[in-house]
């Protein structure tokens, strides 16, 4: 098998850790470099199972620092970049947009510049793969789906910063010929998601009999995809997509928030040995998110048709697996909630 050195940014985060694990385990001839700043969302305890593997290397670094990025490009002959590092939470983007501009726009551009500079027109075998979101397309009414041709209409600081980064990736592809692909995915769920996002936050609160905050009336719709199915799509796209292309990835699995939380409550009641209906009492309607997008839904027929990808899990199975994981990994969740996970890098790697 071909040898390659792949830089995965944001590999200590939720989706990134599943992508890193998949590549380290499936491609023993690749060197996988996990390049991550370890913000509050970066957790190396997501990857303890692969820590000692010879084809895996963690480097603490900031994509928005030209010095950090140039250092890794000059020390390693990187031939592929899978770029997941980002500020990713819409609510945080409403309270602190600048962090999103810095990492998502400036950071992506610094990475693009490094790839352009170090690859220096020698594009053979090189690929810059940018991971993005369906939120760049804006908000749908009751009907319709986002396709790869849907015009961009981002409406939160998070989605606007991701849309900007997508445009910059396309501009580098068009202007300089940098081989680049983009995928735009719907909401992910599964193990290792930071408990600020709807599903892990709700699991944590239900378990601890705390209120489950539902924004507005819970009528907003999201299309949910199991994180390992996203990682499988990323693997396929990285290996098969033609430079200059874009793929939408989605679960074909739309849920109103309130219906999803009711289903989650039923599963939790069963798993925790509570009477059915007990956890639902924790549902608490709270003030709506500012500018809350009503509905996202992805048409993923292009990736299904061209690359043969489809989601492998039904939502019932995926959600049950997710609940089981959070209940079995109480220590992971407690470490995140207490902040102890932030000390792990120092303890294991001796760095700050
Ligand atoms: P996450 O917030 O769980 O993880 C982000 C990771 O990036 C963390 O490990 C963090 O430490 C790292 N990071 C942040 N700023 C950095 C910087 N300046 N330099 C280096 N590393 C930095 O995010 P996630 O949910 O895993 O999302 C990963 C990617 O997928 C993002 O680009 C996001 O926009 C995209 N995406 C996410 C979803 C979703 O549902 N979570 C859906 C579609 C697309
Ligand atoms: P989230 O997980 O933050 O993802 P995104 O905003 O990127 O879609 O939120 C998913 C949906 O759940 C979204 O409609 C907002 C809503 N939500 C709540 O109702 N309560 C919460 O506490 C959170 C975090 C989200």
pLDDT of residue 62: 98
Instruction: Tell me the pTM.
Output: 0.98
pLDDT at 349: 87
Tokens representing residue 244 in the block: 């200059």
Partnered with residue 183 across adjacent β-strands are 131, 247
Q: Give φ, ψ of 261 to 5 degrees.
A: -70, -35
Structure confidence at residue 227 (pLDDT): 98
Indicate which atom in ligand 1 lies nearest the CA of residue 134: 43
Cα(282) to centroid of ligand 1, in Å?
Answer: 29
The confidence score (pLDDT) of residue 352 equals 58
State which residues of the chain have pLDDT below 70.
1, 351-352
Element containing residue 110 per DSSP (H, E)? helix 108-119
119-to-79, 157, 172, 322 alpha-carbon distances in Å? 8, 32, 13, 40
Would you say the C-alpha torsion 238, 42, 271, 331 has a positive or negative sign?
positive
Give the per-residue pLDDT at 247. 98
Q: Whose CA is nearest to atom 43 of ligand 1?
A: 133
SS3 percent helix, strand, coil of the chain, rounded to 5, is 45, 20, 35
Question: CA quadruple 242, 246, 252, 253: dihedral positive or negative?
Answer: positive
Bridge partners (DSSP) of residue 129 are: 82, 181
Fold of 4-190+224-252+296-313: Rossmann fold (3.40.50)
Residue 85 CA to ligand 1 center (angstroms) comes to 5
Q: Whose CA is nearest to atom 28 of ligand 1?
A: 84
Query: What are the boundaries of each domain within the chain?
Result: 4-190+224-252+296-313
Which atom of ligand 2 lies closest to the CA of 133?
A: 7
Residues 6+ apart with CB under 8 A from 286: 213, 214, 215
């Amino acid at each position: 098998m071909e040898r390659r050195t792949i830089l995965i940014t944001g590999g200590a985060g939720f989706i990134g850790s599943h992508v890193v694990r998949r590549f380290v385990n499936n491609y023993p001839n690749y060197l996988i470099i996990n390049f991550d700043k370890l913000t509050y969302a970066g957790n190396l305890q997501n990857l303890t199972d692969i820590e000692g593997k010879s084809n895996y290397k963690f480097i603490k670094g900031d994509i928005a620092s030209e010095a950090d990025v140039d250092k890794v490009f000059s020390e390693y002959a990187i031939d592929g970049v899978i770029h997941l590092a980002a500020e990713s939470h819409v609510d945080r983007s409403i309270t602190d947009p600048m962090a999103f501009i810095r990492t998502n726009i400036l950071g992506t551009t610094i990475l693009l510049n490094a790839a352009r500079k170090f690859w220096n027109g020698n594009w053979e075998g090189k690929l810059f793969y940018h991971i993005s979101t369906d939120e760049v397309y804006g908000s749908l009414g009751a009907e319709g789906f986002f396709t790869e041709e849907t015009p961009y209409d981002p409406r939160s600081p998070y989605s606007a910063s991701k849309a900007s980064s997508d445009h910059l990736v396309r501009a580098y592809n068009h202007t300089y010929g940098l081989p680049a692909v983009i995928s735009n995915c719907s909401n992910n769920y599964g193990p290792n998601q930071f408990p600020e996002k709807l599903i892990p936050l709700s699991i944590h609160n239900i378990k601890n009999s705390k209120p489950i905050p539902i924004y507005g009336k819970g009528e907003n719709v999201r299309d949910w995809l199991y994180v390992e199915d996203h990682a499988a799509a990323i693997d396929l796209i990285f290996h098969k997509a033609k430079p200059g292309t874009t793929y939408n990835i989605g679960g074909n699995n739309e849920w109103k928030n309130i219906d999803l939380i009711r289903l989650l409550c039923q599963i939790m009641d069963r798993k925790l040995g509570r009477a059915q209906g007990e956890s639902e009492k924790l549902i608490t309607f709270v003030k709506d998110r500012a500018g809350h997008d009503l509905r996202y839904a992805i048409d993923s027929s292009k990736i299904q048709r061209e690359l043969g990808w489809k989601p492998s899990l039904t939502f019932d199975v995926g959600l049950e697996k997710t609940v089981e994981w959070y209940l079995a990994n109480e220590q992971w969740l407690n470490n995140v909630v207490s902040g102890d996970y932030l000390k792990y890098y120092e303890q294991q790697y001796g760095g700050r």
